[in-house]
Amino acid sequence: MAKVPKADEIRCMNLTAAASCVFHFKVEGYSFTREAAKSAFLHCYKSDKFSVGGYDWQVRYHPDGEASGCFDLVLQLLCLAEEDVAVRFACTVLCKSGDPLKEMEVAATGNILGFCDETVFAPRELRVSMGHGEAAEFVMVDCLALHYTISVLKKPF
């Protein structure tokens, strides 16, 4: 019969390095951002730079999304990665109570490729879309509050 090792005899190692952060962003002047997006003057709004999993990121809000009647939220990696980075970007609205509404969550998961040389180009972003009509009931005093969760695996499977 095999001997069962004691807890202090078991060696552990991580196969991945994971990190996750939650942010709340507000789109103040929500209706005005939609109107301004109809002109060539406005393309998107950018968040401040933030760090998750040892990488620098930024979220862009595009009031006039790729699909009709939608706005887009784009998570962009701001630095070159030495290795592939697996990312999950999820977004939902905040209810009047301040709680995230899981039923409206939109998410994207993908690998952002590490750059081996300067001839390789791959998108360093993930994009999700949400309908203006769906979000409209959560706009309070012309402000839309959004709940983001960004999860990063440094060594994807």
pLDDT value of position 40: 65
Domain of 125, CATH number, reads 2.60.210.10
Q: Does residue 1 sit within a domain?
A: no
pLDDT at 157 over 60: no
Domain that holds residue 32: 15-153
Would 124 be classed as within a structural domain?
Answer: yes
Q: Is 89's pLDDT higher than 60? A: yes
pLDDT the model gives residue 105: 93
Q: Is residue 127 part of a domain?
A: yes
Establish if 8 belongs to a structural domain.
no
- The reported pLDDT for the residue numbered 130 is 92
pTM: 0.78
Structure confidence at residue 88 (pLDDT):
92
pLDDT the model gives residue 21: 92
Domain membership flag for residue 117: yes
Indicate the number of domains in the chain.
1
Name the residue with higher pLDDT: 5 or 149.
149
Lowest mean pLDDT, pick from 39-43, 92-96, 116-120, 125-129: 116-120
Tell me whether strands 85-93 and 70-77 are parallel, antiparallel or unpaired.
unpaired
pLDDT tens for each residue of 51-83? 998 888 999 999 988 888 899 999 988 877 677
* pLDDT band, very low/low/confident/very high, at 117 (cuts 50, 70, 90): low
CB distance 23 to 31 below 8 Å = no
User: Would you say residue 52 lies in a domain?
Assistant: yes
Q: How many residues does the chain have?
A: 157
pLDDT, greater one: 135 or 116: 135
